[in-house]
Amino acid sequence: MKNTLITLLLLLSLLSARAQVPAHASLRTDLLEHTDQVWKNGFLTNLTLTEAVNSLFSFQTADIRSRQPYFSWVLTDTSRNARQTAYHLLVATSREKIDAGLGDVWDSGKVTGSKQLQIRCGVPLDTNQIYYWKVKTWNSEAQESGWSAPKAFRTARVLSDYTTAFYPLVKSEEKPSKQRRLSNQSVLYDFGKDIFGQLYLTATSSTGNDTLVLHLGEHVTADGHVHTKPGGTLRYRMVRLPLRQGEHTYAVQFTSDKRNTGPKAILMPDYIGEVLPFRYVELVVPSGQVRVQNVTRHGVFYPFNEGATTFTSSDTTLNQIWELSKYSIKATSFAGYYVDGDRERIPYEADALINQLSHYAVDTEFNMAKRSLDYLIYHATWPTEWSLQNLLVAYYDYLYSGDIRAVGVLYDELKPKMLLALAREDGLISTRTGKQTAEFKRSIHYGTFDGKEDLKDITDWPQPSEIDGFQFKDYNAIVNAFHFESLQAMEHMARELGKQEDAAFYQKRAQRVKTAFLNTFIDAKTGLVRDGEGTDHSSLHANMFALAFGLVPEKNHENVLAHIRNKGMATSVYGSQFLLDALYNAHESKYALSLLTHTGLRSWYNMIRTGSTITTEAWDTRFKPNQDWNHAWGAAPANVIVRKLMGVEPLTPAFGTIQIKPQPDTLRQASLEYTTLRGVVKVSFENSPERFRLHTTLPANTTGVVYLPRKSPKGTVYQDGKIIKAMADGAFWKIESVGSGKYAWEVRN
């Protein structure tokens, strides 16, 4: 009996010590997690891929489009310094074979190493086939995990070396959150939030001669009616719905808008149909025996993981702005590409960059950015700075996803987007010196917008209300700040692609541009950044872009920051992204937090106050009379809160090395759970004048660099209750090489 008990205890000990199984929900193929799901006209079904293929109705799946796709998984081990040391991956043609451990398509064998992302399938796959895969891993103690649950995926009818895979658009069925009778014949339905959607209802008519009148819109009047003249490009639509005799369910049809369904716009797919952004429905019921019930909205969006990122803080205004920004990313994903909202439904580079960063901040979705970049490369828009932003979109794609393939495919097309053809001898570029030849425009694919006009420096949008008196010259500071940043981005991407000569060229070129920038645009007397060559005017924009991109010498920071603080929010919602980046990069967190939580006219809170539930194109309609209420480029707080306030950023691709550098200033408490491709990063802090406490959790297979606020040069740093030696780094204490797992940090001042 005693020996049996000892044996049982040993078995239990071995089982508990066994490496944890990779999380099935996080197995991804070409970065897509839900490759095994089947949708019909936007709604998720309960069919397997095999059942769908054998069915007789049309369906949608997230097909894989690459011959040799990439696989990735999350390690669920939460212990300290948990690392993978090997993996074994199987790909099979059937569920039966994968369950039996037979990789009849590919068996990787045991592969030594920590690599858990971008594992390339070892053989080319066939078109229009269903495959299954699973993986097991070994940890740093050489303990072997069990196999993960298998994941299915389907290949497309046409495959290439690499094409970005993507999900179909999906729908949610929503009931009104509120209902209010406005008169004997009029009822207002409030769905709580604006979304791009469609309307369905059930109505009973005793005669068949009745007509319902529906007013749909994004805004209501003071007396609670749907606003029929809301101003700007806020949406309103009146629909007359003839009723048939008896009880019937009706799909309310929206006619297309010529402006947002033209040749430049992204069109809705047939399986979804036309949509309209609306929150409110006012239903006018004719007199007589008419009964209306089951008023339902079908919201349309790209698949979105609500739980991927959560944030809360002690500041209720900041919490509202976070929720506004997070929801905006979901609601504006209705086209499957990053578009400029409903007015045009056209992708623009500047919209895409901010949308991309905020999408990364609130969801673990990477392929919409890749898809949008591919589109924008061949459909260039007219602002000079926005051509340069292609390079930033490409670089962030690589940095956050760790997948360089999209950049590799587009590499030769990205080169002209840096606008080197417009440079003079010292490296600075200009759009106003006669160098925009027809050949140059073809090289950047500037022909979608007829190509007759040249690129134009934009500074900010709209002009001229949001440019702080910027004086345009032949050589402008902002354009060249973006040019410098694009060169640095291209250097990193070239190096990752193994193009070392190119990388060396871009590095040298960036240094030349930086030297010329400092010599040309820095005012030696004031230390400020001048708008352009030949003017002494120093706008907010010239200074904030230069500061954001590291072009302000350290000795000039104090003067530049004082100048920026004196200007307030003299920039648009687009420019605010770079203003906040500049402030946090310079550790001016107090002023940055005040701008984030400001409640005046030029604030995110004003968007909420005016009644919008999605970030708007401008701070208020008075600044842009044709603005809309569904513009994701206004959602900068989503990424700024994650990247800068909470300080979570990737230092190496796909968060292999994670920076945690919170800048709380006066914020007393905040917590963030942020999902990366490697797992969930958790950061929370408690902040007071006497001490700062930080709790962090890093996922397995990652390393962290942790910064703690250094309010006093004599502060004491603790890790898990024990005093440690931390490196003084300006306004921070810095701790390097932090392994995975949970840690408690404290600074006592």
Q: Are residues 146 and 216 in the same domain?
A: no
| Those residues with Cβ within 8 angstroms of residue 344's Cβ, 6 or more apart along the chain or in another chain | 259, 260, 264, 265
For residues 402 and 543, membership in a common domain is answered with yes
Calpha distance 147→567 (Å, rounded):
58
Q: Are residues 398 and 516 in the same domain?
A: yes
Mean residue pLDDT of the chain comes to: 95
Write out the H or E segment, with its range, that includes residue 518: helix 500-521
Cα–Cα distance between 617 and 461 in angstroms, integer?
10
User: Has residue 288 got a pLDDT over 80?
Assistant: no
Q: Are residues 705 and 587 in the same domain?
A: no
In 3D space, the residue among 68, 44, 46, 73 whose CA is nearest the CA of residue 151 turns out to be 73
In the predicted model, is pLDDT for residue 9 greater than 60? no
Structural domain harbouring 605: 309-645
Q: Which residues pair with 278 in a beta bridge?
A: 195
- Give pLDDT tens digits for 685-696: 999 999 999 999
Does residue 36 sit in the same domain as residue 92?
yes
pLDDT of residue 447: 81
Please answer whether residues 612 and 629 qualify as being in contact, where contact means their C-beta atoms are separated by less than 8 angstroms: yes
What angle (nearest 5°) sits at the alpha carbon of residue 621, between those of residues 618 and 625?
A: 100
Q: What is the pLDDT of residue 15?
A: 43
In this structure, the answer to whether residues 578 and 508 fall within a common structural domain is yes
pLDDT for 25 equals: 56
Q: What is the pLDDT of residues 442-459, one digit of tens each?
A: 999 998 545 568 999 999
Alpha helices, H only, 83-136? 95-99
Q: How many CA atoms lie within 13 A of 29 on its CB side?
A: 30
**Cα–Cα distance between 5 and 564 in angstroms, integer?**
72
Domain with residue 20: its CATH number is: 2.60.40.10
Report the alpha-carbon distance of residue 48 to residue 50 in Å, rounded. 5
133 forms bridges with which residues in the sheet? 91, 151
pLDDT digits (tens, 9 = 90+) for 81-108: 999 999 999 999 999 999 999 999 999 9
Q: Is residue 608 part of a domain?
A: yes
pLDDT at 286: 85
User: Same domain, yes or no, for 220 and 141?
Assistant: no
Q: Number of structural domains, the chain?
A: 4
Do both 424 and 565 map to the same domain?
A: yes
| Beta bridge partners of residue 727, listed in sequence order | 734
In a domain, 653, yes or no: no
| Closest residue by Cα to residue 724 from 746, 692, 698 | 746
Q: What is the three-class DSSP state of 717?
A: strand
Bridge-based pairing of strands 64-66 and 151-160 is: parallel
CB 400 within 8 A of CB 654: yes
- Quick one: average pLDDT of 349-365? 98
pLDDT confidence band for 20 (50 / 70 / 90): low
- Given a cut of 50, whether residue 395 has pLDDT beyond it is yes
424 and 484 together in one domain: yes
Residue 199's φ and ψ, nearest 5 degrees, are -120, 135
Domain for residue 416, yes or no?
A: yes
Same domain, 740 and 665: yes
pLDDT at position 653 over 50: yes
Q: Is the pLDDT of residue 7 over 90?
A: no
Residue 127 in tokens: 């078109």
**Model pTM greater than 0.85?**
yes
Distance separating the N- and C-terminal Cα atoms of the chain = 59
Please tell me the chain's helix, strand, coil percentages from 3-state DSSP, rounded to the nearest 5.
30, 25, 45
With CA atoms as reference, report the closest residue to 178 among 236, 119, 220.
220
Q: Which of 301, 328, 348 is the last residue of a domain?
A: 301
- 166-183 pLDDT, tens digit per residue, is 999 999 999 999 999 999
Mean pLDDT for the stretch of residues 418-422: 98
- Report whether pLDDT(342) > 60: yes
Whether residue 142 sits in one domain with residue 187: no
Report the alpha-carbon distance of residue 448 to residue 348 in Å, rounded.
12
The answer to whether residue 3 scores a pLDDT higher than 90 is: no
Please, what is the Cα angle at 589 between 587 and 590, to 5 degrees? 135
Tell me the pLDDT band of 5, cut-offs 50, 70 and 90: very low
Task: Work out the number of other CB atoms within 10 angstroms of the CB of residue 451.
Answer: 14
Per-residue pLDDT reduced to its tens digit, 532-572: 999 999 999 999 999 999 999 999 999 999 999 999 999 99
Rg (the chain; Cα; Å): 28
Give the confidence band of 11 by pLDDT, cuts at 50, 70, 90. very low
- pLDDT at position 19 over 90: no
Within a domain: residue 650? no
d(CA 307, CA 132): 26
Q: What is the CATH number of the domain that holds 249?
A: 2.60.120.260
Q: Is the pLDDT of residue 206 over 80?
A: yes
Over residues 291-307, mean pLDDT: 97
> For a pLDDT cut of 70, what percent of the chain falls above it?
96
Q: What distance in Å separates the CA atoms of residue 54 and residue 49, rounded to the nearest whole number? A: 9
Report phi then psi at 573, rounded to 5: -65, -30
Residue-level length of the chain: 749
Q: How many whole angstroms separate alpha carbon 144 and alpha carbon 177? A: 50
Q: Are 635 and 669 in a shared domain?
A: no
Q: What is the pLDDT of residues 424-433, one digit of tens each?
A: 999 999 999 9
